[in-house]
Structure 1
Amino acid sequence: MSLDLSAETLNAAASNVLPGESLTPQLIVDDAQALLAARRLADEFAPEAALRDRERRLPWAELDAFVASGLWGITVPREFGGAGVRNGTLAEVTATIAAADGSLGQIPQNHFYALEVLRVGGSVEQQRLFYGRVLAGERFGNALAEIGHQDFKRRTRLTRAAAGWHIDGRKFYCTGALYAHWIPTLVVAKDEGRDVTYLVFVPRDTPGVTVIDDWDGFGQRVTGSGSVQFDHVRVEPEWVVPFQVSFERATTIGPLAQIIHAAIDLGQARGAFAAALQFVRERSRPWIDAKVERAADDPLTVAQFGDLAVRLRAAEALLRRAGRFVDAAQAESTDRSVAEASVAVAEARALTTTVSLDAGSRLFELAGTAATLDGLGLDRFWRNARTHTLHDPVRWKYHAVGNFYLNDALPPRHGAL
């Protein structure tokens, strides 16, 4: 992908499309309603998922329907007018949408992340403001990560001056920013002589904000995970939410972020498994040595599907279990409860990673050569899973889990675990 920062490149790649007027979403009041809405939307999103992937057709209409359903507001606490659903429900909603379209399953991930940062570290006034915006139909993207350096230091800065506060910097992997009304942005600012990190909610149409549609990964093609540039962007103090202090104590920001990632991968696995079942039942030919009329009766194929089904069910169970741990940690955040939630989510994430990759690959092994025809788009399941599972390395999940059980070592506090 090009990282040319010339003015010509930025002007050519910048997205001039802004989100439409805020919709008035339905108000979802409980977990059951959220799950029902997700299943209905998944049925609507699935038929053209391969076409959107192949043509890189940005899902503006689908996102409007997604927001109108009320699902983007389901984690708003009840005291602020939302459903305040359980984390297992949030994970299942995410997995249901991701099974239909992996990109659509991922786009709200940082929206929910920002809502959790707001719940943990925002003032009551900030919570009232931004929760109200979400319930009115506005969506958040993100501008968190930066590339081009070998360290994880953030270089996007918030400057406080007498003439006003402003932001300067450049971000990448900004999933959802292309479609957002607000872009929550990680910045550093000088505070009593040291750099302190904040999350700033920046209106997407603020002068100096340039959203660049330069994401060209081979998977998750329509997540809008490109660049955002901030050139002396003026911000208001009430948009600035403490971030660093939220990791100096035990909070559920990290486990919440990670359970959604696990749910996206689970959805990819479900989608690949369902596509493989349909193809083998309807189109595949049995191998000659099986001596059966239908591919679905081939005993080795049957066994392979059984193996995938068992591991898929296990991943689902671990994800539901992780949701209960995150619920408990949100209710009472202690060093131990948050560590247990992080480990439970890491266990789920380890299995959803491997099963999503395996399901996307074995789809072709079981379905046969005809499944590779480009027009079918069945390769999107593996491409999407491979792309998304690189978000953070699964090898460190196993380390965190093993270190917890073997040495009673609590996992580190950061948003990537």
Structure 2
Amino acid sequence: MTHLIENALPTVHVIKDDQQAIEVATRLAEQFALSSAERDIERILPYVELDLLSHSGLLAITVPKRFGGAEVSAQTLATVIALLSAADGSIGQIPQNHFYALEVLRVNGTDAQQKKLYAEVLAGQRFGNALAEFHTKAANLRTSRLVFDGENYSITGQKFYCTGALYAHRIPTLVSDEHGQDFLVFVDQRAEGVKIVDDWSGFGQRTTGSGSVYFDQVNVDAIDIIPFNTAFERPTTVGPFAQLMHAAIDTGIAQAALHESIEFIRTRARAWIDAHVEQAQQDPLTIYEIGNLSVEVRATQSLLNRAARLVQIAQQNPTIQTIADASIAVAEARAQSTEVSLLAGSKLIELGGSRASQRSDNLDRFWRNARVHTLHDPVRWKYHAIGNYYLNNILPPRRGTL
């Protein structure tokens, strides 16, 4: 059944400040968590939940105050993403590209473009993405084209891993023109020539809708075309801002897996015979593992908060050094959150024992979600960038994949 994406949503709340954003995110996260396991195991796409997210006003919290938004801090945004991801990893990832597109708009958009697109977001519209391509030899290559025939603009191409496009009102799409310049085009999902295919079959993040999008000579308005290259030719926060949200997703998944581990051990796990105790939570080795995992998760949260503060500083004062500082801090948070989200998801099953492996409980979703999401960009290159910076004073590359 095709879900109709309405162009505007009624009674959209406008969030006014950081505290309100966290309060709203907390309430929604509690609601989303109740049916998270069922949505994952049955692959029930979260249209209802995303409509609630739109109505709540959370998708507009980064809109600048001069355009009517809350303009929350980077730390608040990271907290919101982590809360949603702890409730449901897929729902936490879906708005990542929405906020990424809004950051590109903030950095590179004209006043007219910002006024138009920010107004749409404040009205509850969702932005997806069509950035990556499946058939190119390298992740930075693309064949999707922007064509100008002297009167009109159009785009043609095929995209994959289009998280959120299935649920979006607009699909920000990365294309190149005949001169090799890149642009982010905010394409109306309903435009003629747009085809969205729900062919995402990943074993984790199953309800992100991260499938394919096809563009066949889709006409686009000039006001919806934003330069992309220049966001990386000068110091901007587009790259670290994007990666901060990815770190927040993994942090949220890790937090949820730790919480689930504690609850399962207390209520359902059995003590191992060699521990000579009556309850699993009295097992000294289990106690050690939970203590170690708790420290790792808290460290992850601390690195995320530090990275968010440095991103905020860089947004307010974008220089070569502030962007480098933010990028390295975010890379550190990404490295830690990758390792810990995988660890937490694995330890949940290990410490819970065979009872924790039952398909009906779907406890493996935490590890599956972490494993699939952390494939977004390899952690080994995070460590390389960090080491190169501290050891050789080499600045990290300016791009959205660090």
Shift of 1:22: 2.1
TM-score (norm 2): 0.98
Alpha-carbon separation, structure 2, partners of 1:328 and 1:403: 23
TM-score by length of 1: 0.95
| Alignment match of 1:335 (pick from 320, 331, 337) | 320
The residue aligned with 2:17 is 30
Contact residue 25 and residue 69 of structure 1 kept, 8 A:
yes
User: Which residue does the alignment assign to 2:32?
Assistant: 45
Matched, 1:231 2:216: yes
Provide the rounded CA distance (Å) in 2 between the counterparts of 1:25 and 1:274. 32
* Equivalent residue number for residue 18 of structure 1: 4
The answer to whether the 8 Å contact 2:136/2:142 transfers is no
Q: Deviations over 1:47-71 (max 9, x none)?
A: 1111100111000100011111111
> 2:352 — aligned with what?
367
Q: For 1:182 and 1:229, how far apart are their aligned partners in 2? A: 14
Q: Where does residue 88 of structure 2 map in the other structure?
A: 101
Q: Which runs of 4+ in 1 moved over 3 A?
A: none
SS of 1:108 mapped into structure 2: helix
Structure 1 residue 128 corresponds to structure 2 residue 80: no
Q: Equivalent of 1:155, from 133, 140, 143?
A: 143
Shift of 1:287: 0.6
TM superposition shift of 1:225: 0.3
Partner of 2:156: 168
Identify if the C-alpha distance between structure 1 residues 278 and 218 changes in structure 2 by more than 3 Å, giving closer, same or farther.
same
CA distance in 2 between counterparts of 1:166 and 1:355 reads: 44
SS at match of 1:375: coil
Q: Are residue 217 (structure 1) and residue 205 (structure 2) matched?
A: no
What is the aligned-residue identity percentage? 56
Q: Is residue 2:124 matched to residue 1:115?
A: no
1:66-114 Cα deviation digits (max 9, x unpaired) = 1111110011111111111111110110000100100000000000000
Is 1:71 equivalent to 2:19 in the alignment? no
Structure 1 gap segments, 5+ residues each:
1-14
AA in 1 matched with 2:108 = G
SS of corresponding position for 1:29: coil
Q: Give 2:256's aligned residue.
A: 271
Tell me how far apart the structure 1 counterparts of residues 348 and 239 of structure 2 sit (CA, whole Å): 32
Query: How big is the shift at 1:27?
Result: 1.0
Measured after TM superposition, the shift of residue 17 of structure 1 is 2.8
3-state SS in 1 of match to 2:183: strand
Shift of 1:163: 4.3
Amino acid of the structure 1 residue aligned with 2:120:
R
Q: Which residue of 2 aligns with 1:7?
A: none
Partner residue in 2 for 1:189: 177
- 2:366 alignment partner in structure 1: 381
The aligned amino acid for 1:250 is P
Give the corresponding residue for 1:8.
none
Which of 296, 299, 322 does residue 314 from structure 1 map onto? 299
User: How much has 1:289 moved relative to structure 2?
Assistant: 1.3
1:245 maps to 230
Give, as a single letter, the amino acid of the residue that structure 2 aligns with 1:185: T
Q: 1:148 deviation in Å?
A: 1.2
Q: Which amino acid aligns with 1:359?
A: A
**Partner secondary structure for residue 159 of structure 1:** strand
Structure 2 residue 391 is matched with structure 1 residue 403: no
Question: Is contact 2:155–2:220 with CA below 8 Å preserved after alignment?
Answer: yes
Task: Tell me the alpha carbon deviations over residues 9-31 of structure 1, each in whole angstroms, 9 at most, x when there is no partner.
Answer: xxxxxx84331352232111111
State whether residues 237 and 314 of structure 2, in contact with CA within 8 Å, keep that contact through their aligned partners in structure 1: yes
| 2:171 match: secondary structure | strand
SS at match of 1:61: helix
Residue 80 of structure 1, aligned match among 67, 79, 87: 67
- 1:205-246: CA deviations, max 9, x gaps? 000000100000000000010000000100011110010111
Question: Residues 18 and 179 of structure 1 are in contact (CA less than 8 Å); yes or no, is this contact kept in structure 2?
Answer: no
Contact 1:26/1:69 (<8 A) preserved = yes
Q: In the alignment, which residue of structure 2 is the partner of 1:394?
A: 379
1:153 shift after superposition? 1.4
Aligned-CA RMSD value: 0.9
The CA deviation string for residues 183-212 of structure 1, in whole angstroms up to 9 with x for no partner, is 00001012xxx2100000000000000010
- Is this contact kept in 1: 2:7–2:169, CA < 8 A? no
Amino acid at match of 2:146: L
